[in-house]
Structure 1
Amino acid sequence: MTPTPPLRSPVRPGRRVRRTTVAAGTSMALALLGLTAAAGAPSAQAEPSAAVPATFTASGVPKLDHVVVVMEENKFYEDVIGSSQAPYINSLAKQGASFSDFHGVVHPSQGNYVALFSGSTHGIKDDDCPHDYSSDNLGNQLLTHGKTFVGYSEDLPSDGSKDCGDDGDSGYARKHNGWVDFKNVPASSNLRMSRFPSDYSKLPDVSFVTPNLTNDMHDGTVREGDDWLRKNLDGYVQWARTHNSALVLTWDEADMP
């Protein structure tokens, strides 16, 4: 079966666009998406290994063992999908689901991160730091229901740090780390990217990954972001195919003037 190409949507003037690509490793997702190969590097030529059947809940929704959400920055859909500067991401998009009508809700970035994690911008209209909330959110819901959550941030000064970062060196920025703004998400769920396990079976049920300001395409190029993703997450993508797990890749908003 030939993979269905990702949908393209027109960019509407003044509208902030967030694009999301899902590279799933379950046989359910592979079947629904018409995939015949792993969501891996574009140069891979080997025959794909058999995928593990997905587990379904009573409602018919697939129950994944691990989900990793990677947050990228400030690019229009057309800047990435179809671009020669993003060969790895395009390989994922061709073999996964592309949510091309998925949009940011506010500008600048910080409110989008908080909204994605908690369902509300909490009135944020800037990138000021710090913010501290006690309201419900994805991490708290997972932990309350006996699941696990960890956010991994590249160049986070130390595990559990609440430092604002973003000192102009294209490193860590708290404005791109939504979970640290919530008091009911423990410090143990806020880790450096270097703590992302090489044994992927030890990943939490849900993980968020935030590259630094260069590698998330905020200050760096599409090519730099694409290379970083391949280097740091392709091992997980290949493993996920046969371990009932998925990768979600999304951007916070388009590159606004």
Structure 2
Amino acid sequence: MSIAFTLSKQGVLFDQFYALTHTSEPNYIGVVGGDFFGAFNDAFYHIPENISTVVDLLEAKNISWASYQENMPYDGFTGFSYTQTNYLNNQGQYTYYERKHNGLISFDSVANVTDRALRIRNFNDFANDLKANDIPQWNFITPNLVNDAHDTTIDFAADWLNFWLVPLLEDPNFNSNRTIILLTFDETETFSINNRIYTLALGNGVPKELRGTTDSTFYTHYSALSTVEANWGLGALGRGDTNTTLNNVFQFVANATGWKNNGISGNSSDIPLRRAQHVRHQPRRRAHLRRPGP
């Protein structure tokens, strides 16, 4: 039995969830900033310090937050990538971490503010925070380049999820009765078709009657942002998170908060094209986890 099937029985499958564009980095930027600000590749972007992110909204409401990036060398690291000993075969060096999969660090309003930068941490810190029952309320978690399937395969990533995520679902320090975990990818691999990606909502905060069901509402990465905003009453950044075509809130959160979605669902012709044609960078899919439950 595949891990995707096993997990889908525990959550809600979003079968019309779309990335924003190609390549990887604009999607990471967009999901925390409500826009990808013209980014069209995986370059070293600095988004000016006067540009707000979800962090500003969370801090205004005293919602704790962190980002955990696997194999990032130390808290607040702003480098383009990090190479270390290849732990898979103990032969040579391997680049496991790349900045392009760390959306918040692209914003100078985070990277240039010491207290904020130090909340972008690695998986050793995650393990320590979990043990101390000190996991923040909102998290963005990115596996490294082999565990996210970028440099390996979906089967490799599935094995990692089985090893890393499945036990966490049984840990109350991670998965409380108010926790929502969004398991998703940054983009599809094929640029010539619309940018639909596998996405699943998990966690004990998912209503029991919805577990094992499919939601065909049209969602995008902006929906992940607008759902967090609706969940805690954060207000909005005024970008893609307020675009009424692209910002549908996850339906069970919309129901709880009184949010009105736009009604686009299924294979509607109203679903806009979410792809771009650029020079390819050989993308594969990255798994994220976001935990917006209070």
Retained in 1: the 8 A contact 2:46–2:108? no
- Partners in 2 of 1:256 and 1:157 — Cα distance? 32
Determine if the alignment matches structure 1 residue 93 to structure 2 residue 8. yes
User: What's the TM-score, normalizing by structure 1?
Assistant: 0.62
- Superposition pairs for residues 191-206 of structure 1, below 5 Å? 191-196=121-126, 197-199=129-131, 201-206=133-138
Which one of 86, 97, 118 corresponds to residue 188 of structure 1? 118
1:131 Cα shift?
2.1
Write out per-residue CA displacement over residues 63-122 of structure 1, whole angstroms, 9 at most, x where no aligned residue. Answer: xxxxxxxxxxxxxxxxxxxxx6xx223211122111111111111111011111111011
Task: Using structure 2 for the length normalisation, give the TM-score.
Answer: 0.54
SS in 1 for 2:74: coil
* Gap change, CA 1:127 and 1:139, over 3 Å in 2: same
Are residues 90 and 130 of structure 1, via their aligned partners in 2, closer, same or farther at CA, if it must alter by over 3 Å? same
SS of residue paired to 1:117: helix
Alignment check: 8 A CA contact 1:142 1:149 kept: yes
Structure 1 residues 255 and 204: CA distance shift in structure 2, 3 A:
same
Number of matched pairs: 172
Aligned pair 1:172/2:97, yes or no? yes
User: Does structure 1 residue 152 correspond to structure 2 residue 77?
Assistant: no
Distance 2:168 2:96 in 1: 23
The offset of 1:223, in angstroms, is: 1.7
Q: Which residue of 2 aligns with 1:35?
A: none
1:182-238 deviation per Cα after TM superposition (whole angstroms, max 9, x unaligned): 233311211011111333731000111111111101111112111222222223212
| Deviation beyond 3 Å, 4+ runs, structure 1 | 240-243
Q: Please give the alpha-carbon distance, in whole angstroms, between the structure 2 residues aligned to 1:131 and 1:145.
A: 26
Counting aligned pairs with the same residue, the percent is: 28
Cα offset, 1:246, TM superposition: 2.2
Name stretches of at least 5 consecutive residues in structure 2 with no aligned partner. Answer: 84-92, 111-115, 192-294
Alpha-carbon separation, structure 2, partners of 1:145 and 1:172: 31
Letter of the 1:152 counterpart: Y
CA–CA separation in structure 1 for the residues paired with 2:164 and 2:56: 27
Instruction: Name the CA distance, whole Å, in 2 between partners of 1:157 and 1:242.
Output: 29
Q: Secondary structure at the match of 1:171?
A: strand
How far, CA to CA, are the matches of 1:133 and 1:216 in structure 2? 29
Question: For 2:164, which of 232, 245, 248 is the aligned residue?
Answer: 232
Contact 2:81/2:95 (8 A) holds in 1: no
What is the match of residue 70 of structure 1? none
> 1:104 aligns to what?
19
